[in-house]
Structure 1
Amino acid sequence: MNKFFLISFLFLCQLGYNQSSEKENLQNLIENFFSAFHAKDSIALKNFAHPEIKMHSVAIDVNGKTMLSTEDYTDFLRAIASIPETTKFREKLHGFKININGVIANVSTPYSFYVNDELSHCGVNTFQLMKFKGQWKIIYLVDTRSKLGCE
């Protein structure tokens, strides 16, 4: 009986370690996504995504009205690549909340977005990922964008 508990305990410890390791992998993936984003590297950005990725944004205007918009990932990549060299932008992440359930995962990252060192807006990114051919790929990206409640 004691051997059963010992084996069960060791198995659960291994599962916890694997999930911790996967969380680190997902956090690194999202950090690398934003490194490519800041570098305007559309090729690297494309490699982070599943070919059928979906994107939405929920904008909240100064009156609190919410609007939903859809963007094609290819259009997003073109827009990033076309940002002029003179425009400096930075999305500062304020932490990670990561949930994994088998071959799917969710990563939420509150953020503040700066253009030419001026705060533009803030919100939360939510990435839905799936394990595709042994690699995590972004399948859905939704973000909120607001000028309300930013630092």
Structure 2
Amino acid sequence: MSTGTEERSGRPDPAAAHTDAEFVAALQRLKAWSGRSYRDIQSHAQRAGHHLPYSTAAGMLKRQTLPREEVVTAFVRGCGLDEQAAAEWSAARRRLDMGVPPEPDSARTRPRRRRPPTVIAVAVTMAAALVIATNVHQTEIEDVVVPAHHAQELD
């Protein structure tokens, strides 16, 4: 799943993730995008002030569950992204953890489906037929059921 941002820069967009597994897949794509080994990610994370053993980073990408927020931040920084990008990844992780769906993105939203004109025409015709049938049936009932005081006038 990609968004316009991801398509332009090649960098994965965490906001596109709908599930924990999609979020982890985005982290995997981020590692590939960075071109760094796990040891490189570890050393870059450390330079950015975060502790991230390479084994933790590797293990995180093999699971389908959300990693801890501090691990996500360290990993994102280790992949070479700045604090703002790390905050975006953390926000996406918190959103998934709380079960909130992602905001719709114009690049991902589908255009509203239009109904074919024949379907609409058939529906209108059936509704009209139902109204006519109901009125005809009501008229037949009124013709048959005549109150007693009117029956004498008819004779």
TM-score bracket, normalised by the shorter chain, equals under 0.3
For normalisation by structure 1, the TM-score amounts to 0.28
Larger % of strand: which? Answer: 1
For normalisation by structure 2, the TM-score amounts to 0.27
Larger % of helix: which? Answer: 2
Higher Rg of the two aligned structures: 2
